[in-house]
Amino acid sequence: MVKLANPLYTEWILEAIQKIKKQKQRPSEERICHAVST
């Protein structure tokens, strides 16, 4: 079975991707991690 991620973490990641895209950058793993940690 597939275990779903915690909805809170999913929301954080999606918000980080949106933030990165607003800066007109590609959302790489490194950028997403940095955006979530700040």
Give the pLDDT of residue 36.
Answer: 84
Q: What is the pTM of this model?
A: 0.70
CA distances from 27 to 1, 16, 18, 24, 32 (A): 28, 8, 9, 9, 6
Q: What is the pLDDT of residues 1-38, one digit of tens each?
A: 678 888 888 899 899 999 989 999 998 999 988 888 87
DSSP single-letter state for residue 38: -
